[in-house]
Amino acid sequence: MQAGSLARGATAYVTLEPCASHTNTPPCADSLIAAGIRRVVAAVEDPDHRTDGNGFAKLRAAGIHVASGILTKETAETHAGFFTRLKSRRPFVTLKTAQSADGKVAPPPGGGKWITGQRAREFGQLMRARNDAILIGIETALEDDPELTCRISGLEKYSPLRAVIDSKLRLPIWSKLARSAKQHPTIVFTATNGGNDLRALGVEIVPLPPNKAGQVPIADVLHALAERDCTWLLV
């Protein structure tokens, strides 16, 4: 669209098959046709059932030459979240963990707050900005009282959706997560009723049927996040 008349007769290079259905915007395939594009080079077909080959078919029917199957391995990596959400109904999950040289995940009592260095902590902040959501359990919320936002200058607006698995709904209203929920979207997945005090602070409470142990099933949490268009999840 920005190229205007300069796009006529040009070649468009895309990673994913141009979409063929109306969503929040018109179909990308229609826009390329209207722009007068002569050739489209794409990596892979869009697995979304609303497209899945229909985008390429539209382009070819309009006389546009389509070449696909280019750099498919690289595209599978860069679009892993999107593909996982569509095919498996869950986000692509990245696990972040810190471990000391002797295999510990926390310092000894009185041994300080961190077992990682400054650069590692900054990279952890960057990972938050690169993911749609960040998920923790209630014990982490109670022990660390984290904010789970990105605090890298200039990237604050890319802070992820914050999610907590809290089967018995123990998240305190004084926690940083609860007190900042109106500024930073926060979801609590629980296996019990209640939570009106948290709702009043802006926390979204999502009850899910418990498993035999009375806990929130992880698979259900992942499905619920995928339904909210979460493609990349940091744990």
171-199 pLDDT, tens digit per residue, is 999 999 999 999 999 999 999 999 999 99
Rounded CA separation 218/104 (Å): 25
CA dihedral 16, 21, 22, 28 (to 10 degrees): 40
Task: Report the alpha-carbon distance of residue 233 to residue 42 in Å, rounded.
Answer: 26
Per domain, the residue ranges of the chain are 4-78, 92-234
Domain range 92-234, CATH architecture: 3-Layer(aba) Sandwich (3.40)
Strand boundaries in 75-218, DSSP class E: 92-94, 133-137, 161-165, 186-190, 204-207
Is the pLDDT assigned to residue 1 strictly greater than 70? no
Model confidence at 104: pLDDT above 90: no
CA distance 35 to 4: 7
Greater confidence (86 vs 109) lies with 86
- In the CATH hierarchy, which fold is given to the domain comprising 4-78? Cytidine Deaminase; domain 2 (3.40.140)
| Paired residues of 190 in beta bridges | 207
CA atoms within 13 Å, Cβ hemisphere of 38: 7
pLDDT tens readout for residues 109-144? 877 778 888 898 899 999 999 999 999 999 999 999
